[in-house]
Amino acid sequence: MLTQNYQFALFSSQGRLVLNLHTKGWVLLVIPFLLCALAAANYVLFGYYNDHQNTLGSLSEIDKERLQVNEAMLSSSFELTDIENTLARVVDFNAKLRIMLSIGDEIDREATLSFSPRSTHGLRHLPALYGRNLNRKLRSRAQELNADMIYEETQQQEIAHSISLQLENLATIPVIMPTRGRFSSAFGWRKDPFKG
């Protein structure tokens, strides 16, 4: 049966021969296997295509989330810069107060001369510059700011203590008028009203 020859003839409705095929018997068995293999290959390729489409969708979502995270970190960077500028103004004001209260040192004098707010120019390029390290840099800046704010809080407590001491000292100094009434002349030497 596998080695026998088979002939297939296809006739039109008018009775003319349209197609005439000669084949061996084993070819007839191979064709269904080929069709099954083709169907299986199509099924596998369709699965790969679906996986590919799902992967592309996931990558698109990841890109959107990455952009949102970059924007959030950039916004945080601007907020940190604003906080740094505010802290720099507080440091400068505290240094001036310490100098006015005579408890300042040379560092305070340098602080009042060197105050300059941080510029935000170039911060828009932070995601490109730092890449994966941007979050670490922001966290490090926030920790430094926290330490600086704690230090300035202790400095303000020292200023408040110094002000209270100076107010106590001022309260003990006699700076009020001893009596009420009219002044006939100022304190100190004066001319004799009769002889000049």
Q: Report the chain's mean pLDDT, rounded to a whole number.
A: 79
pLDDT at 36: 93
The string of pLDDT tens digits covering residues 58-83 is: 999 998 988 888 788 888 888 888 88
- Name the pTM for this structure: 0.50
Among 59-68, 124-133, 135-144, 174-183, top mean pLDDT goes to 59-68
Amino acid found at 189: W
The string of pLDDT tens digits covering residues 41-56 is: 999 999 999 999 999 9
CB 117 within 8 A of CB 81: no
pLDDT at 12: 85
Q: Report the range of poorest mean pLDDT among 1-5, 77-81, 130-134.
A: 130-134
Q: Is the dihedral of CA 158, 164, 165, 166 positive or negative?
A: positive
Output DSSP code: residue 112: H
Strand, coil or helix: 179: coil
Measured CA to CA in angstroms, residue 83 lies from 94, 107, 117 at distances of 16, 22, 10
Q: What is the chain's alpha carbon radius of gyration, rounded to the nearest angstrom? A: 47
The string of pLDDT tens digits covering residues 177-190 is: 667 777 777 778 88
The C-alpha atoms of residue 69 and residue 75 are separated, in whole angstroms, by 10
Answer with the residue of higher pLDDT: 125 or 173: 173
